[in-house]
Amino acid sequence: MKTIITFGTFDVFHIGHIKILKRAKELGDRLIVGVSSDRLNFSKKSRNPVYCQDQRLEIINSLKFVDEVFVEDSLEKKLEYIKEFKADVLVMGDDWLGKFDFLKSYCDVVYLERTPSISTTEIIEKIATA
């Protein structure tokens, strides 16, 4: 059994999220998703997410191709999470290209292309200016 692990905020859930998670699942048998905590999201983006972490966890957990979700508390704990969940493959969006190559001695690292012309930040900005 091949276990895949990936991470994200998954705020204002959209088609890009679905596509990257489906492609991640296609790489193995089990998909584990770390959802950024509210605190971690604020530290990365200097703003709170639109949906709180419990709601984002529930959204991701409801997807039929996701096997397990957990709260990601720190970007620096990727290796701990990989070991804890016995992940064979780490999947990240290509906006992180090369940033997690140091983990290749622990698992395969795959960067998937993001869906063009869609991002949570752009959606939030459109809504704010509408």
Q: Nearest 5 degrees, angle CA 12-CA 118-CA 5?
A: 65
Confidence of residue 14 (pLDDT cuts 50, 70, 90): confident
Residue 87 CB coordination number (10 Å)? 24
pLDDT class of 125 with cuts at 50, 70, 90: low
Tens digit of each residue's pLDDT (9 = 90 or more) over 67-116 = 999 999 999 999 999 999 999 999 999 989 999 999 999 999 999 988 66
The residue among 2, 40, 30 whose CA lies nearest residue 10 is 40
The rounded distance, in Å, linking the Cα atoms of 36 and 25 is: 19
